Structure 1
Amino acid sequence: MARIYATSEDYQAYTGQTPPSDAEVLLAKASRFLESNVFKICWYEVDADGYPSNALVRQAFRDAACAQTEWYDEIGDTTGATGAGWGSVSLGSASLSRSVTNVSGAASPAREIAPAVLDVLGASDLTPDVFRLGSVVDW
């Protein structure tokens, strides 16, 4: 079962804004994205369900999911699809162009870690005894 680190209520408390209508979907996507791109390279202890066992770390993950969701809502894209694609398109007198170097959407803002996520995970109360951002362990 996928872990989801925040709820719509958490989002509203974090942002002070009414959650978007698809907040639960966005929070789930943000949780998956952060887990696969950030949390997996960090050191922290977990409970039986795989969530951080330390309350401060769990709160930071909740806030990080909210920050990533707010980013998705602001840019209007969660997949990177709007950043993929065409070099130039013409239709009558209208002409659009975009660099063809980003054909996959991987360089889209939707595939970036929201700056506020790193602010949350870099907080001074997340001391090295409970959380290490970007820790690599060699077994």
Structure 2
Amino acid sequence: MAYATEQQLIDYLAPDPAPANAAKVLDRASDDIDGLLIGAVYDTDADGMPTDPKVQAALRKATLAQAEYLVSTGDLTGAQRQWRSVRLGDAEYTRATTGTEPGRIAPSALQALRVAGALNRWVVTW
């Protein structure tokens, strides 16, 4: 289940149109955000959705930013990140990357989670 609705994506992307596969994009974006939150602790309902309105808002904002990124790159599967440069005849396309792996997560999605305090990287012991 996605952390944002299709209508929220339409509103977020306006005036640009939402993609025809908006539900799929939101599901993929939510999965990407889940991958960042492994080990995060927050209350959820029976469907695994957060119950705290602040957590809901942070995950929705990050998901919408990630969905926008997926739409703008046109790369839902991550297959395009397997290359840095492509040449077709006289045309050449080079994708800018940082680090060893091209970016899978939108910088704005990471920022939304950082600001919300969801990407703390420390160990809590009892």
Alignment of 1:81-96 (within 5 A): 81-85=79-83, 94=90
Structure 1 regions of 5+ residues with no counterpart? 99-105
Paired residue for 1:48, among 42, 46, 49? 46
CA RMSD, 1 decimal: 3.0
Counterpart of 1:133 in structure 2 is: 119
Determine helix, strand or coil for the equivalent of 2:66.
helix
Q: State the Cα distance separating 1:47 from its structure 2 match.
A: 2.0
Give the number of the structure whose alpha-carbon radius of gyration is greater.
1
Q: State the Cα distance separating 1:87 from its structure 2 match.
A: 7.8
Counterpart of 1:108 in structure 2 is: 102
Paired residue for 1:65, among 63, 66, 73? 63
Structure 2 regions of 5+ residues with no counterpart? 95-99
- What TM-score, normalized by structure 2, do the two folds share? 0.73
Q: 1 CA distance for matches of 2:85 and 2:111? A: 35
Q: 1 CA distance for matches of 2:70 and 2:6? A: 14
- Are the equivalent residues in 2 in contact too, given 1:82–1:108 (CA < 8 A)? no
How many residues were matched structurally? 120
Of the structure 1 ranges 21-30 and 40-49, higher mean CA displacement relative to structure 2 is found in: 40-49
- What TM-score, normalized by structure 1, do the two folds share? 0.68
Determine helix, strand or coil for the equivalent of 1:74.
helix
Counterpart of 1:30 in structure 2 is: 29
